[in-house]
């Protein structure tokens, strides 16, 4: 494999010295870029774009041509795994993802297969391999998956949800059925992420988008427990390097200490958690990724720079910070504002790495 020219992202995740704080953006390959919209139109629809390795590679590389980012992230979707389980994923205009065959009973759970990542999800591995060739060692490639709990919310609810009433009914009325589903998803995600690592992903991230909808006790039992199982089963070395794992629970700031005990290398923070407080709480146990409110990117270059400066000062001196947004970049953010953000992180962060 090609020698990595810029490895500051991987070094920061492992709390090793870097010259400046590395930066990338969640959803950096996406709808705020006109070139992305053109490529998606060429593909026909979102899932066709995900399932075309050449086009998935193209949209992964597009933000790197514009901005001095320190990592690329695989262009894909968290719902690839439930789609491969045969639930009939489709996208309803204005409604987001839907499933034709939601999981509502223990019998539904037992019928679900554990997908072979090189077969049913082979298009994702082909995309990883294609992107690695396209990157030519410029920056590392991040692979990812949704967490078992987050995937289960879509599978049981049949799509997006605000109140999660159907899955919470299962959780309280038939917890055994939900545990069986989460266990099957944990096995599937472990296989999926290990296949991404073998295909060339140099770091992986688990997105627990909806963990914050749970009570503290339920979060530990129905979400974190299964992410811990995945982390225990991951391949942590490849191509002669450690493969760092980042755990991100949106709305999970109250559980950072428990998350840091899972064996992950880094925790993603959303903007509702103060990064200085997070660092005090987890110490040097894990690196921290985050955590600017994506809406700051609507502001002026001066406002963006001020926010960057405040977050850098909040984390303070030393290693173990990957700068990112607290969630995905909004689709109507002007690309030049994203550029100002990336530039400010690099320009202002050197003083913290002397």
Phi-psi region of 205 (alpha: psi -120 to 50; beta: other; left: phi over 0): beta
Give the number of residues written for the chain.
354
CB distance 262 to 218 below 8 Å: no
CB distance 257 to 290 below 8 Å: no
- DSSP strand E in 226-297: where? 237-238, 241-242, 245-249, 266-268, 287-289
Q: Which residues are catalytic?
A: 27, 31, 40, 77, 154
- DSSP strand E in 82-236: where? 89-92, 96-99, 141-146, 203-208
CB distance 270 to 291 below 8 Å: yes
Pick out the residues of the known binding site for substrate. 27-31, 77, 154, 209, 327
Phi, psi dihedral angles at 334 (to 5 degrees)? -65, 130
Specify the 3-state DSSP secondary structure of 170: helix
């Amino acid at each position: 494999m090609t020698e990595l020219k810029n490895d500051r992202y991987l070094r920061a995740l492992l709390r090793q010295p870097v010259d400046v704080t590395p930066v990338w953006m969640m959803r950096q390959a996406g709808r705020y870029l006109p070139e992305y919209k053109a490529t998606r139109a060429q593909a026909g629809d979102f899932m066709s774009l995900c399932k075309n390795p050449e086009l998935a590679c193209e949209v992964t590389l597009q933000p790197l041509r514009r901005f001095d980012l320190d990592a690329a992230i695989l262009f894909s979707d968290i719902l690839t795994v439930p789609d491969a389980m045969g639930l009939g994923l489709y996208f309803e205009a204005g409604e987001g993802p839907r499933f034709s065959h939601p999981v509502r009973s223990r019998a539904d759970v037992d019928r679900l297969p554990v997908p072979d990542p090189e077969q049913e999800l082979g298009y994702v591995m082909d995309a990883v391999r294609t992107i690695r060739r396209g990157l030519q060692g410029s920056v590392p490639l991040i692979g990812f998956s949704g967490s078992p709990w987050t995937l289960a919310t879509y599978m049981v609810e049949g799509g997006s949800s605000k109140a999660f009433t159907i899955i919470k009914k299962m959780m309280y009325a038939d917890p055994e059925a939900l545990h069986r589903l989460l266990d099957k998803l944990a096995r599937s995600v472990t296989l999926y992420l290990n296949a991404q690592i073998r295909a060339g992903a140099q770091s992986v991230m688990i997105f627990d988008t909806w963990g914050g909808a749970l009570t503290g006790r339920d979060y530990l039992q129905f979400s974190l427990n299964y992410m811990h199982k995945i982390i225990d089963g991951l391949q942590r070395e490849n191509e002669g390097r450690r493969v760092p794992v980042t755990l991100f629970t949106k709305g999970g700031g109250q559980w950072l200490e428990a998350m840091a005990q899972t064996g992950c290398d880094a925790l993603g923070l959303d903007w509702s958690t103060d990064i200085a407080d997070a660092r005090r709480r987890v110490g040097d146990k894990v690196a921290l990724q985050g955590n600017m409110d994506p809406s700051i990117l609507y502001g002026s270059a001066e406002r963006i720079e001020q926010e960057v400066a405040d977050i850098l000062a909040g984390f303070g001196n030393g290693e173990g910070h990957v700068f990112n947004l607290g969630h995905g970049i909004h689709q109507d953010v002007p690309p030049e504002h994203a550029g100002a953000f990336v530039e400010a992180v690099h320009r202002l962060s050197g003083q913290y790495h002397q």
